[in-house]
Amino acid sequence: PTRRSSDLAVLNAESRRVGAFRGQRVLLETVADQIAGAINAARMHAELQRRADLFAMTSELSRTALEAGSFEQTLEFISAFIHERFGLEICGIFLAGHDGRLALRARTGPPSRVSERGALPDGPSVTMRAYRTGESQYVPDVRLDPDYCPGSDRVRAEYALPIRLQGRLLGVITTQSATV
Q: What is the pLDDT of residues 31-62, one digit of tens each?
A: 988 898 899 899 898 888 988 888 887 888 78
Instruction: Give the pLDDT band (50/70/90) at residue 177.
Output: very high
The pLDDT assigned to 110 comes to 85
Closest CA to 147 of 172, 170, 130: 130
The reported pTM is 0.69
| Residue 172, amino acid | V
Residue 122 has pLDDT above 90, yes or no: no
Instruction: Give the pLDDT band (50/70/90) at residue 10.
Output: confident
Residue 135's contacts (CB-CB under 8 Å, 6 or more residues apart) are 162
Residue 76's contacts (CB-CB under 8 Å, 6 or more residues apart) are 68, 106, 108
